[in-house]
Amino acid sequence: QGPLVESGGGLAQAGGSLRLSCRSSRAILSVFSPATMGWYRQAPGLEREQVAQITGDKITNYADSVKGRFTISRDNSRKTAYLQMNSLKPEDSGAYYCYMMTTNDQTFWGQGTQVTVSS
């Protein structure tokens, strides 16, 4: 098991919704709460794109391509971050990777989860 465990990807129709989860493993539970959490996505033939992030103070930031459709949140008691994806588009398809950036600049990654949106 890696430092971050992702779940929730899959297949959705355009206009549909999916929710991704990113849970901290036991090894890094203690650094979760102040850390910045986020997701990147990678589609074939395209550059990696940062989708969303949320700081330890719950300040959020989104790529222009997902603003108004995606919502990132976190539950520090569950050591889990979430990415709620609504109004999905085929161009949202790709591999989604969550990450954690700690206060001492360590970065941990999830294993990735595939999102496929059909038109």
What pLDDT digit, counting tens, does each position of 56-89 carry?
A: 999 999 999 999 999 999 999 999 999 999 999 9
Contacts of 21 (CB under 8 A, 6+ apart): 6, 7, 8, 80, 81, 82
- Taking the CB of residue 109, how many other CB atoms lie within 10 A of it? 15
**pLDDT(1) > 90:** no
Confidence at residue 66, expressed as pLDDT on a 0 to 100 scale = 98
Q: Inform me whether the pLDDT recorded for 17 exceeds 80.
A: yes
The mean pLDDT of 37-46, rounded to a whole number, is 94
Spatial distance between the Cα atoms of 31 and 44, rounded to a whole number of angstroms: 33
Q: Looking at this protein, which amino acid is placed at residue 13?
A: Q
**Element housing 47 (H / E):** none
The tokens for 21 are: 């989860």
Average pLDDT, the chain: 95
